[in-house]
Amino acid sequence: MHRPLFAGASPWARAVRSPRTALLAVAALAASLGLAALPAGAAPPAPPAAEASPAAQVQAQAQVLTWTAGDDFTAYASRPTTAVAGPTTIVFENSAATGNTTGMQHTLTFSTSDPAYNRDVYVDILADPYDSNGGRHQVDVVLTPGKYKFFCAIPGHGSMQGELIVTGGSADTTPPTVTASVSGNRNGDGAYVGSATVTLAASDSGSGVDKTEYSLDGGPFGIYSGPVTVTAPGQHTVSYRATDKAGNTSAAQSVSFTVVAPPAQDSTPPTASASVTGDRDANGAYVGAATVTLSATDTQSGVDRIEYSLNGAAFAAYSAPVTVNQPGQHTVAYRATDKAGNTSAPQSVSFTVVAPPAQDTTPPTASASVTGNRDANGAYVGSATVTLSATDEGSGVDRIEYSLDGAAFAHYHAPLTVNQAGQHTVAYRAIDKAGNTSAAQSVSFTVVAPPAQDSTPPTASASVTGDRDANGAYVGAATVTLSATDTQSGVDRIEYSLDGAAFTHYHSPLTVNQAGQHTVAYRATDKAGNTSAPQSVSFTVVAPPAQDTTPPTASASVSGNRDDSGAYVGSATVTLSATDTQSGVDRIEYSLNGAAYAAYSAPVTLNQPGQYTVSYRATDKAGNTSAPQSVSVRVVAPPSNDTTPPTATATVSGQRNDDGHYVGSATVTVSASDAGSGVARVEYAVDGGPFVAYSGPVTVNSPGAHTVSYRATDRAGNTSTVGSVTFEVVASAPGTTCPVVDSRATVVVGTVDSGVRNRPVRLECTINNLIKDEREWATHDKFVTHVETVTGQLYWNGKITYAEKAAIVKAAKQSGVGKPVGRDGYEKILSNRESFSQWRQAGAGGFTFKDGAISSKAEPGLGMLWYPVREYRNFSLKLQWRDDAPGEGRANSGVFVRFPRVDNHPDESRPEWVAIKYGHELQIFDRTDGDQYKSGSVYGFDRVDLADAHVTPKGTWNDYEIRVVDQHYQIYRNGELINEYVNAPGAVFSPPRADDPGTAGRQNPSGFIGLQNHGAGDLISFRNIRVAELPS
């Protein structure tokens, strides 16, 4: 291995790449147009003598310019200083032959951001004596006259730089392009009234325009120096041509028109108008500058001139839009005069200019997406559409450019459709209004020709679900779910017929609840019009068993602070619940102190001193009502003589270094107790700030010394003395702290197994910890660069071999990490209403779909939404969830994985409990109190504390990833591994549950996926649910 021999150097952690070039040729026409008036028939000025053309035109050959580098990192070993414009081969060699004995890398990079130099050539060559080219690389470019700046981009090599002066150029044999336009006031016949003005424009992309000539009505050609005005009435023809600096003259062209005498004397002044344009801020002020554009019309003699006055100055002639760039309030007055001498009354427009913000030096961010119909190999059938977008928080996006398959960059206006079969690459970049250009990125894809005409009908299938009796009949109802596939033109529609009726369109599963024998016939039609032969499924529905006559079971619990006599101090809260194993609970009602029964929807709080009796009852959906029960409660006022403040304490937790400082963050937990009236509130303040209500552990993650002050107040108004804890937080070294160690056997990148042995490489952190493929990456290229950097550092530190580094980088490139959804290897299983219809609800409650997300209903009872389409073996499940609990509450929910099919389970009749008892629930619960299993826990088996659950504010969308390989579980929250669990047989559910089978009953090699809804107050939302299969 070869390592840098100079202090402070570090290797570039990326694979050597081939040089890239971008060629931008810009031709500009710089012509100053004045105003010339010639009477009709007057000869134009004579042209100057023609310059002699070169005796011979020699086809320009590509010149070769060579740079070399060696051990010196302050200067190139050799470099050119001058060149001629035209095709050029640039050679850069950094090898033993050029004096490199240390293996040091160098680059040859041309500046494309410095406005003082040419920026039309992109050169960025990384040369390594040990790369596949032996350190010698070349690239073909086209140089234009001017100066180029070149430098070495390796950190610490900044002194390696210089300038290349380019002069001359190759022969130009293409004549200029000339256009003409005629302007003036025209009458109804199209003739110009009083005069017509001919304006010529010429451009040349080679040597440049040397002169433009014109001829009036067949006269001799003369030099064109500004617009030509013809006033003589009659028919006129202006011929014109242009010559470039290489002596090429364009073919003569002409424009014809008619001039007529103006009408009788004009006494009506012109009509003048003004408009103000520019970038405006939120207050309507123009940022940096405002441009005032004036115009005037006159239907008789025609407009002669427009004049303006800025901020009360004398009127001046208006010839072009007026730009005002001085900050402040401004007024532009304006007037117009016609050719008969009539002047309009002065008008004015006022506006404010403010100074622009600081100079923008940050380029825009550009992105691309590819859409279209794809085949099984991922190729786009018939065509692919590339949509580009860009954002810029500074000056704003000016334009987006793209290049298809290596062609020159062109302006992007609308999505680009590529319909030619083959492999394609679209490069793209964005430029902001400050001139900053983003680095070119690219997206590659394959387009294949559409298949031959589709003559094959779709394949249709049906499944019947529901509760079945011992004879196989469906009890109460049967649900028929139809589906169809078509590998060519695609499915257009599915139709069904119930018991011989006419076929009708199928939209969603069909529920049949009439007792008797039934047959559902079905067929499918594809988009080519092919219809499958009708098939059918038959089944029997029987009436449900006898009516439910058993009332629900209701219960009550009372909570609050109690004194020594058992009375509740200040207030008591009565919570009611009910269960019904048959038709289900319909409602709970309560009566306070003999009043009429009222519907129970939330715990009842009693806060007035006195004796209370709360009666309660429950009614099921069959109308059975339980016998009333009651609970008696006595509430007493808080002691009026309570003068003792509460006792408050605080503890600090987190990872500490040898100096006792907290690494990365520290978590402060405050608690309080009061033996009198009880604690009313706890407050805290950080670093001398205002006191705020304490609702859970406080995490401080900014480096430095900190003091957290705290106090508590009881219900009698007594406030404790302010206490405080002081500690210091230090920044964690990048990649050295791993709250949870990733212990997988091999290094897996996304869904690709590199085959490299996973092992600790930085303290307790393993290679898998450092790869961070679970994070959301902006692009695939950025993720691959990250992996190259990490593996490069590990290689240079002797932690992995070069072969292992190459294997991990290869796996990163093959992975879908950072690619758009749909190309990242993940299958969307819940993203729209159509996919939502494939999920089924088990148990109470349910979910509703809105705006791309599903939200649990505010209904009592435990339930689960599960995906019955397929089972998953080894997989990565990604989703987003949001805690929507009302008030100050926190939602209790979870994600179920690896559970068997819930219908007709032999040992558990409640479908939702099949997932609870025979699968694993990965908990979602961020509340400070309540259940001991917080977010990230494997419920009942592996607990994650609140401090390790990476809690976010309620209402935040959280990214959750659950990886299951064999019996190895990993849970990631917002890109951080928060729990790792091995599902070994023999573990017992905690706290113990009599009928729970433990992990011995959860050794399923595959299973289904489900989302829990826990109750009326545990509102939770999910979105973007997608799955990718993983290797064993």
CATH code of residue 116? 2.60.40.420
Q: Do 1009 and 936 sit in the same domain of this protein?
A: yes
Residue 36 domain-assigned (yes or no): no
CA triple 536-542-545, angle to 5 deg: 155
The secondary structure of residue 437, as a DSSP letter, is B
The secondary structure of residue 405, as a DSSP letter, is T
Nearest in space to 633 (alpha carbons), one of 575, 715, 686 = 575
Give the per-residue pLDDT at 93.
96
pLDDT over 90 for what percent of the chain?
A: 56
First to last CA, the chain: 33
> Which tokens hold the place of 41?
């028939």
Residue 39 domain-assigned (yes or no): no
Beta bridge partners of 450: none
CATH, residue 916: 2.60.120.560
The single residue listed with the structure tokens 């028939």 is 41
Beta bridge partners of 928: none
**Most confident option among 428-437, 553-562, 780-789:** 428-437
Average pLDDT over residues 168-174: 71
pLDDT tens digit sequence for 788-814: 988 988 988 888 998 999 999 999 998
- Judge if pTM exceeds 0.75: no
pLDDT at 776 over 80: no
Listed residues 573, 607, 634: the one ending a domain? 634
Q: At what angle do helices 780-796 and 802-814 cross, to 10 degrees?
A: 170
Nearest in space to 462 (alpha carbons), one of 493, 489, 494 = 494
CATH, residue 713: 2.60.40.10
Average pLDDT over residues 407-429: 94
Residue 67 domain-assigned (yes or no): yes
Pairwise CA distance, residues 599 & 629, whole Å? 15
Greatest C-alpha distance within the chain: 122
> Which tokens hold the place of 722?
């302010």
Assign 48 a pLDDT band (cuts: 50, 70, 90).
very low
Beta bridge partners of 37: 229
Give the dihedral sign, CA 185/191/194/198: positive
Listed residues 116, 138, 167: the one ending a domain? 167
φ, ψ of residue 155 in degrees (nearest 5): -55, 135
pLDDT at 893 over 70: yes
Identity of the residue numbered 592: L
Average pLDDT over residues 941-959: 90
Q: Do 609 and 692 sit in the same domain of this protein?
A: no
Pairing label, strands 704-714, 723-730: antiparallel
- Which residues span the domain enclosing 573? 553-634
Among 124-138, 604-618, 682-696, 876-890, which stretch is predicted with the lowest mean pLDDT?
A: 682-696
**Most confident option among 167-181, 323-337, 438-452:** 323-337
More confident residue, 976 or 922: 922
Residue 54 domain-assigned (yes or no): no
Residue 18 domain-assigned (yes or no): no
Give the per-residue pLDDT at 777.
81
Q: Give residue 586's region: left, alpha or beta (phi > 0; psi -120 to 50).
A: alpha
Residue 908 domain-assigned (yes or no): yes
Q: Are 980 and 840 in contact (CB under 8 A)?
A: no
For the chain, what is the mean pLDDT? 86
Q: Do 836 and 979 sit in the same domain of this protein?
A: yes
Q: Do 994 and 857 sit in the same domain of this protein?
A: yes
Q: Are 119 and 202 in contact (CB under 8 A)?
A: no
For every residue of 861-906, which 3-state class applies, written as one string? CCEEEEEEEEEECCEEEEEEEEECCCCCCCCEEEEEEEECCCCCCC
Strand stretches in 737-883, DSSP E:
746-749, 752-757, 760-762, 765-766, 827-830, 840-843, 847-850, 853-856, 863-872, 875-883
Average pLDDT over residues 946-965: 91
Q: Do 985 and 849 sit in the same domain of this protein?
A: yes
Strand order of the β-sheet with 478-485 is: 459-465, 478-485, 510-512
Stated as kind and residue range, the H or E segment containing 782 is: helix 780-796
Q: Do 559 and 615 sit in the same domain of this protein?
A: yes
894, HSE (Cβ side, Cα atoms, 13 Å): 22
Assign 1018 a pLDDT band (cuts: 50, 70, 90).
very high
Stated as kind and residue range, the H or E segment containing 860 is: none
Assign 900 a pLDDT band (cuts: 50, 70, 90).
very high
Pairwise CA distance, residues 129 & 136, whole Å? 8
Pairwise CA distance, residues 124 & 19, whole Å? 6
Assign 16 a pLDDT band (cuts: 50, 70, 90).
very low
Give the per-residue pLDDT at 300.
83
Assign 690 a pLDDT band (cuts: 50, 70, 90).
confident
From residue 425, alpha-carbon distances to 410, 411, 993 in Å are: 14, 16, 59
Contacts of 660 (CB under 8 A, 6+ apart): none
Q: Do 497 and 435 sit in the same domain of this protein?
A: no
pLDDT tens digit sequence for 828-868: 899 888 889 899 999 999 999 988 899 999 998 899 999 99
pLDDT tens digit sequence for 693-749: 887 778 887 788 999 999 998 878 889 999 999 999 887 654 445 667 777 889 988
Pairwise CA distance, residues 520 & 527, whole Å? 23
Pairwise CA distance, residues 787 & 766, whole Å? 14
Residue 916 domain-assigned (yes or no): yes
The single residue listed with the structure tokens 């270094």 is 657
Assign 612 a pLDDT band (cuts: 50, 70, 90).
very high
Assign 931 a pLDDT band (cuts: 50, 70, 90).
confident
Contacts of 63 (CB under 8 A, 6+ apart): 83, 84, 86, 87, 88, 89
Nearest in space to 930 (alpha carbons), one of 876, 984, 893 = 893
Give the per-residue pLDDT at 369.
96
Pairwise CA distance, residues 482 & 524, whole Å? 10
Peptide bond into 638 cis (omega under 30): no
Average pLDDT over residues 119-129: 92
pLDDT over 70 for what percent of the chain?
A: 92
Residue 420 domain-assigned (yes or no): yes
Q: Do 435 and 525 sit in the same domain of this protein?
A: no
Q: Do 558 and 654 sit in the same domain of this protein?
A: no
φ, ψ of residue 862 in degrees (nearest 5): -100, 135
Listed residues 354, 386, 421: the one ending a domain? 354
Alpha helices in 886-970, H assignment, sequence order: 911-918
Q: For the chain, what is the domain count? A: 9
Pairwise CA distance, residues 752 & 208, whole Å? 56
pLDDT at 71 over 70: yes
pLDDT tens digit sequence for 638-671: 777 788 999 999 999 877 776 788 877 788 889 9
Q: Do 775 and 720 sit in the same domain of this protein?
A: no
> Which tokens hold the place of 337?
């005069």
Q: Are 450 and 488 in contact (CB under 8 A)?
A: no
φ, ψ of residue 164 in degrees (nearest 5): -120, 120
Q: Do 114 and 190 sit in the same domain of this protein?
A: no
Q: Do 189 and 238 sit in the same domain of this protein?
A: yes
